[in-house]
């Protein structure tokens, strides 16, 4: 019944189907002989289940402007061109100019991978973003989110029932990070440097690029439980690093992902975890930086593990679980 109610069909079809299915199911329970209730209910369950799996994601639609363009990359040896890098200029959360840019990166300059964990009010669940750092202070941040149509809003419950496509936003930290640290109320953002070898950083970065290119050709559904920001990051990291470590429950309750990463030795080991977590909160630094061009450097200043550009090459690989193209004003 929830599949009918929250499915991706038009609203005028979903709700009548849900009501009809619910009434029919109730009538079945009331009128069917007891010996037939279980097989009848099982048969009735196949109807919404079949409809659920018949729903197909699409890249066509009236998308909200901040998710209207899909990032994609061209890779020629060590040279990478990423198209549709989002770099919104915000006045408020709802009043901003959407800008998409084309940016060039050189893989020989790639040095670091940092993880942002954003607590948006639930201690046990956070939003995860990964940012790759290049020599000279250039960063490319990835945020895995729901791709919403005009008029849609986010719902974790709806996110279980193929309501949204998934989008990998490639963006500037002044957009993706500052939105959460400076503009949204009540969100706490923590920043950690991943203590992994440069070769793994490179493979994971390329894994993200292949993923965004794949989604451009074949869209996929977002799923709040098994296809979200942390799960997809973990899949890419496991695949590109070649690790076979078992899945950990913190991939779902990702508010604890930083603690698990610390236990695996993937975060700065010089501080106890509680102290590392405390000092890794960057909201105050971000607010002080405002929209400064050196925003990325200022939010990292003084954070544990941020001094060295690259981690030790002896680190164990197996531990890792442009110009403006378009602008539109939104009020």
pLDDT per residue as tens digits for the range 21-48: 566 556 655 665 666 656 666 666 666 6
The pLDDT value recorded for residue 315 is 37
**Separation between Cα atoms, residue 66 and residue 105, nearest integer Å:** 23
Does residue 6 fall inside a structural domain?
yes
User: Within this chain, do residues 110 and 76 fall inside the same structural domain, yes or no?
Assistant: yes
Q: Quick one: pLDDT band at residue 247, thresholds 50, 70, 90?
A: confident
The pLDDT value recorded for residue 104 is 98
Across 245-259, average pLDDT: 81
User: Within this chain, do residues 69 and 48 fall inside the same structural domain, yes or no?
Assistant: no
Q: 130 and 113 in contact (C-beta within 8 Å)?
A: yes
Lowest pLDDT segment from 105-114, 301-310, 311-320: 311-320
Does residue 187 fall inside a structural domain?
yes
Residue 32 domain boundaries: 2-54
Which tens digits make up the pLDDT trace of 157-191?
777 778 889 999 999 999 999 999 999 999 999 99
User: Within this chain, do residues 242 and 111 fall inside the same structural domain, yes or no?
Assistant: yes
Among 14, 35, 54, the domain-final residue is 54
Query: Tokens representing 50?
Result: 């079949």
Does residue 59 fall inside a structural domain?
no
Q: Quick one: pLDDT band at residue 331, thresholds 50, 70, 90?
A: very low
Query: Tokens representing 92?
Result: 């408020």
User: Within this chain, do residues 213 and 303 fall inside the same structural domain, yes or no?
Assistant: yes
> Which of the pair, 219 or 255, is modelled with greater confidence?
219
Q: 113 and 201 in contact (C-beta within 8 Å)?
A: yes
User: Within this chain, do residues 75 and 44 fall inside the same structural domain, yes or no?
Assistant: no
CB atoms within 10 A of CB 181: 24
CA proximity to 87, closest of 283, 331, 291: 291
**Separation between Cα atoms, residue 3 and residue 193, nearest integer Å:** 40
Q: Quick one: pLDDT band at residue 326, thresholds 50, 70, 90?
A: very low
Q: Quick one: pLDDT band at residue 328, thresholds 50, 70, 90?
A: very low
Query: Tokens representing 75?
Result: 């890779």
The pLDDT value recorded for residue 251 is 75
Which tens digits make up the pLDDT trace of 284-294?
999 999 999 99
Structurally, the chain folds into a number of domains equal to: 2
Portion of the chain with pLDDT greater than 90, in percent: 56
Does residue 60 fall inside a structural domain?
no
> Which of the pair, 125 or 104, is modelled with greater confidence?
104
Query: Tokens representing 241?
Result: 């690093």
User: Within this chain, do residues 279 and 198 fall inside the same structural domain, yes or no?
Assistant: yes
The pLDDT value recorded for residue 312 is 37
Q: Quick one: pLDDT band at residue 76, thresholds 50, 70, 90?
A: very high
**Separation between Cα atoms, residue 247 and residue 253, nearest integer Å:** 12
Residues in the chain: 331
Query: Tokens representing 240?
Result: 């590109």
Beta strand extents in the chain (DSSP E only): 72-76, 79-86, 89-90, 96-106, 110-119, 127-134, 138-147, 165-171, 188-193, 324-330
The pLDDT value recorded for residue 55 is 77
Q: Quick one: pLDDT band at residue 309, thresholds 50, 70, 90?
A: very low
pLDDT at 320 over 50: no
Token pair 């199911």 in the structure block, residue: 25
Across 70-78, average pLDDT: 97
Does residue 216 fall inside a structural domain?
yes
The pLDDT value recorded for residue 313 is 38
User: Within this chain, do residues 134 and 6 fall inside the same structural domain, yes or no?
Assistant: no
For the chain, the average pLDDT equals 82
**Separation between Cα atoms, residue 258 and residue 272, nearest integer Å:** 12
Q: 118 and 129 in contact (C-beta within 8 Å)?
A: yes
């Amino acid at each position: 019944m929830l599949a009918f109610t929250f499915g991706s069909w038009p609203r005028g079809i979903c709700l009548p189907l849900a009501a009809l299915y619910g009434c029919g199911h109730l009538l079945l329970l009331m009128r069917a002989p007891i010996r037939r209730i279980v097989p009848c209910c099982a048969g009735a369950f196949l109807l919404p289940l079949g409809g659920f799996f018949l729903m197909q994601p699409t890249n066509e639609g009236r998308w909200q402007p901040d998710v209207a363009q899909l990032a994609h990359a061209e890779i020629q040896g060590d040279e990478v061109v990423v198209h549709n890098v989002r770099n919104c200029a915000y006045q408020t959360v709802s009043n901003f100019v959407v800008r998409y840019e084309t940016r060039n990166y050189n893989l020989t300059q790639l040095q670091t991978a940092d993880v942002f964990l954003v607590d948006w009010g639930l201690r046990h669940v956070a939003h995860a973003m990964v940012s790759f750092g290049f020599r000279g202070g250039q960063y490319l941040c990835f945020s895995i989110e729901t791709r919403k149509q005009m008029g849609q809003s986010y719902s974790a419950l709806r996110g279980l029932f193929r309501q949204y496509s998934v989008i990998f936003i490639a963006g500037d930290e002044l957009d993706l990070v500052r939105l959460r640290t400076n503009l949204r109320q009540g969100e706490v953002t923590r920043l950690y440097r991943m203590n992994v070898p440069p070769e793994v950083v490179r493979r994971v970065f390329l894994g993200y690029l292949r993923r965004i290119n794949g989604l451009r050709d074949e869209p996929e559904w977002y799923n709040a439980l098994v296809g979200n920001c942390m799960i997809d990051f973990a899949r890419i990291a496991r695949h590109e690093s070649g690790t076979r470590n078992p899945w950990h429950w913190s991939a779902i309750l990702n508010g604890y992902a930083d603690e698990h990463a610390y236990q695996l030795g993937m975060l700065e080991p010089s501080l106890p975890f509680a102290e590392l977590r405390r000092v890794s909160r960057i909201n105050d630094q971000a607010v002080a930086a405002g929209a400064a061009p050196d925003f990325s450097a200022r939010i990292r200043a003084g954070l544990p593990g941020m001094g060295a550009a690259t981690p030790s090459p002896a680190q164990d690989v197996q531990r890792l679980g442009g110009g403006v193209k378009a602008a539109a004003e939104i009020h």
